[in-house]
Amino acid sequence: MTAMDIGAILPEALRQQFEEEGFTVVRGLFGYDEIEGLCDGFEALRAAGPVPGHFEPRPADPDPLRRHPRVMQPHEISGQARGFLLDARLQAVLEVLLGEEVLAAQSMFYFKPPGARGQALHQDNFYLRVEPGTCVAAWVACDVIGRDNGGLEVVPGTHRMDLFCPEEADRRVSFAREYVPPPPGLVPVPVDMAPGDVLFFNGSLVHGSGPNRSADRFRRSFIGHYVGRSAERIGGYYRTLTMAGERVPLAQSEGAGPCGTEFAPHGGSAG
């Protein structure tokens, strides 16, 4: 991709916003037809039933997030998901934001149906434990997303801070246990998105989402996590790839795990 092409996708103002605030949104990076096809693919996966280790729905469970759990590492079971994770447009933006070659570390797909809990404010690198440096997320909106159906909120400026020691979240509104209160003087900012928009954010940025309080609107999203090629260690759960799809093993860091530690089944959810 030429410098002119990346300039059209990622204007300097967006790069500066990422540098200064820890996040930025590239509007319409993916077309509506691409997003519709992606959602159709995940609906087909859900209809086909469980894939152990990746997607294990419980159709009769009263919890919406157990009926529609998040799909973990779908790029390992779906060529379509792998194509999104390794997409050249994401690569072009990420290489500017990270300033170096990037490696893909994780993919996820969230259905987040009506009535589903959100995920309390947290930091992604608390789970990935990238060393040195941090990760960057590319969060692809697959529906019209706002505050009513559980859109993301970010706390600008926290990307410049160290990882916080989380408190326990309120399980009534969060499926994950960890909660990072906003530091004094900083407040969460909602990020409204349309299908095909991509939110890029630093792995130390505090962010999260509330419940989906809408009556009939899903809040579907595809998420990729990436690291710079200079990273030396990452949690053992994360299997890093070049953007050409070649496996690049990194040494294992300590204290890592899947992104978002869920509450125990008796009071939690599968995402």
217-to-4, 144, 175, 211 alpha-carbon distances in Å = 38, 9, 19, 12
Q: Coil, helix or strand for 8?
A: helix
State the Cα–Cα distance between residues 241 and 73, nearest whole angstrom.
12
**Residues 179 and 209: beta-carbon distance below 8 Å:** no
State the Cα–Cα distance between residues 72 and 271, nearest whole angstrom.
10
Residue-level pLDDT at 268: 32
From the CB of residue 225, how many other CB atoms can be counted at a distance below 10 Å? 26
Residue-level pLDDT at 8: 86
State the Cα–Cα distance between residues 210 and 119, nearest whole angstrom.
7
State the Cα–Cα distance between residues 261 and 264, nearest whole angstrom.
9
* CB within 8 Å of 15: residues ≥ 6 apart: 24, 96, 97
Residue-level pLDDT at 43: 96
**Residues 235 and 124: beta-carbon distance below 8 Å:** no
Residue-level pLDDT at 267: 36
Residue-level pLDDT at 260: 60
Per-residue tens of pLDDT for the chain, all 271 residues = 555 588 889 999 999 999 999 999 999 999 999 999 999 999 999 999 899 999 999 999 999 999 999 999 999 999 999 999 999 999 999 999 999 999 999 999 999 999 999 999 999 999 999 999 999 999 999 999 999 999 999 999 999 999 999 999 999 999 999 999 999 999 999 999 999 999 999 999 999 999 999 999 999 999 999 999 999 999 999 999 999 999 999 999 987 665 666 766 543 333 3
Domains and CATH numbers, the chain: 21-252 (2.60.120.620)
Residue-level pLDDT at 270: 30
Residue-level pLDDT at 254: 83
Q: Coil, helix or strand for 107?
A: strand
